[in-house]
Structure 1
Amino acid sequence: MRLGLATPVVLQQPGVASPWEATAGPEQLARIAAAADELGYTHLTCAEHVAVPAEAADSRGTVYWDPLATLSFLAAHTRRIRLATSVLVLGYHHPLAIAKSYGTLDRLSGGRVILGVGVGSLAEEFALLGAQWQDRGAAADDAMVALRAAWGRREVDGMVVEPHAGSTELTMWVGGRTLRSLRRAVTLGTGWAPFGLAPDTVAEYLRRQQPPAGFEVVLSPGRALDPLGDAAAAERALSRLRAAGATIATCPIRATDAGHYCDQLAELQTIAGAL
């Protein structure tokens, strides 16, 4: 099981984000991304919400940096680590617009983009953007098919797309928290990145819908880990994810500042290597 990074600062969930993140900026963010890159983390993440209803702020938080702008910035400060949307809401975008914008990022970053995608869960945000809430699952399926057909191709339906991704091989992880999301991922994607599911539930879903070889199961412990302060708890959390079927663990980390965060990254990699 490999490690990915739930990027701090760019998403600040109540009960998960550390206080220092509220005042952190690009310099701290770039420092952490570069450290994760050097330590061999597989990917870093950035979520998507244009706006969150005020009544949902206590549970979801309100800080969501734009993923295209953020990942483009981080691409310039890293060399190898992959750049994952976690997740893009498919109903907010035309598939060809995603193929163009993130294909450009893929070209700029040397082929490091991972498209994490989902169907969306905020009806208010759909309404705000004029997006179609009803039947959004079926629309997401169609969008994923269209993305696969367009990714890395110069000509799509008689239209020229320049620039585009450097390869037609699209790494696409599906978010969600249902068995249907896993089925969608197995059928149309290359990985599954659920949220809010207990490890036992993940394991049960994977028994019911066994993925193919090479398929990524990207799980999170759901809480921030403190490898230097409580190594045993971090080890238990990673072990539970591995037992549930994770091939990659995307971990939020508790820290007091950016320097401490980088130290925590190194210690977590040591713990994972010993499992």
Structure 2
Amino acid sequence: MLPEGRLSYGIQLPVQSRSTLYAEPWEAAAGPADLVETARAADRHGFAYIACCEHIGIPRRLAAAMGTVWYDPVATLAHLAAVTTRVRLLSHIALVGLRHPLLSAKQYATLDHLSGGRLVLGVGAGHVREEFDALGVDFTRRGALLDEAVDALKAALGPREFPSYRGEEVAFEGLGQSPRPVQRPRPPLWVGGSSPAAVRRAALRGDGWLPQGGRRDQLPALLAELRRLREEAGIRTPAETGAVTEPLYVGEPAWDVGRRTLAGAPERLAESLRAYRAMGVDQIQVRFRSRSRTELTDQLAAFADGVAPHLDG
């Protein structure tokens, strides 16, 4: 789990996904070296995690908005694990319902093992029908498939070398999988999504919750619902709750960063971001406006040095 008693902060990496909703122009010509330097900067400046998202393929109808650049999270995070030492490695999110849970367990257990126990497995249902159609998976059952995948993954990534699980459609027993994850009893599993079904899944099956977008003023009700469902189910351990902030820029920008961007002095940003902690959020995912990799890594440093010390009041 992430550090207790303080508002942690992580980053969705640039370059690895290039949706027009958030990708900066400089990322179009960027590549592995830029990913590595960004990950190293996050590691150096105390970010809790770096995150990589998953899409198998993007149909033409969505390509203009989503782009077709989506790096594989296991390969990408494994590459970055080798050039970092501390920062956690988050799949935000992995489409584990698209494949057999034993395949996902093998990949992510190996990633946790190779990274020295730094995996956070974030999962979600997905929203692109064509991905499911191409792989022969029923899109209309993606929620049920994810529920079973989560249950099976919790068994497969647990402390037993020969895990067993029997569900409605997935069953395995007596198949040894090694290397095992370093983390015990298993790596944390966070559920992504802000729909009622996703919040319920996070409450009843997850160790944490990763909301997908949405406004700040919607968070308190969603957090209250998650806690209510968890309490009613008799789950006593709290879920690690997150939030995705508005775009940020530390300092007074000399260029147009957009009206939706929270920009200004570090103390001003910290005051605004502390509202997430007041709601009961444990970690925030931040994304910075930038015109180059250098400006981005400078922003990471400015946030860590100027904003982070004030996040707890």
Normalising by structure 2, we get a TM-score of: 0.82
**Is the contact between residue 9 and residue 22 of structure 1 (CA under 8 Å) also seen in structure 2?**
yes
Instruction: Report how far residue 19 of structure 1 moved.
Output: 1.1
| Alignment-derived partner of residue 128 in structure 1 | 134
Alignment of 1:265 with 2:272, yes or no, is no
Matches within 5 A, 1:53-202: 53-152=59-158, 153-156=160-163, 157-166=173-182, 167-202=184-219
Aligned to 1:220: 244
Larger of the two Rg values belongs to structure: 2
- When structure 1 is superposed on structure 2, of 237-246 and 186-195 the one drifting more is 237-246
Q: What is the CA distance between 1:62 and its match in structure 2? A: 2.4
> The residue matched to 1:9 in structure 2 has which SS?
coil
Aligned to 1:203: 220
Structure-to-structure mapping, 1:21-32, within 5 angstroms: 21-32=27-38
| Identity across matched positions, percent | 38
Q: 2: CA distance between counterparts of 1:148 and 1:52?
A: 29
Q: Size of the alignment, in residue pairs?
A: 274
Q: Deviations over 1:173-192 (max 9, x none)?
A: 10112122122112111110
Q: Distance in 2 between matches of 1:194 and 1:143?
A: 19
Question: Which deviations, in whole Å up to 9, do the C-alpha atoms of 1:14-57 show, x marking residues without a partner?
Answer: 14111111111111211111111111111010000011112112
Write out per-residue CA displacement over residues 113-166 of structure 1, whole angstroms, 9 at most, x where no aligned residue. 110001111111100111121222122111111111110432121111122212
**1:47-58 map, 5 Å:** 47-58=53-64
1:100 Cα deviation after fit: 0.6
| Residue ranges of structure 1 left out of the alignment (5+ in a row) | none
Larger mean CA deviation between 53-62 and 234-243 belongs to 234-243
In the superposition, relative to structure 1, how do residues 78 and 158 fare at CA in structure 2: closer, same or farther (>3 Å)? same
SS in 2 for 1:30: helix
More off after superposition, 29-38 vs 224-233: 224-233
The answer for unaligned runs of 5 or more in structure 2 is: 1-6, 164-172, 231-235, 254-262
CA distance in 2, matches of 1:227, 1:184: 35
Q: Write the letter of the residue equivalent to 1:20.
A: W
* Aligned counterparts of 1:74 and 1:8: Cα–Cα separation in 2: 13
The one-letter code sitting in structure 1 at the alignment partner of 2:210 is A
CA–CA distance in structure 1, aligned partners of residues 63 and 278 of structure 2: 33
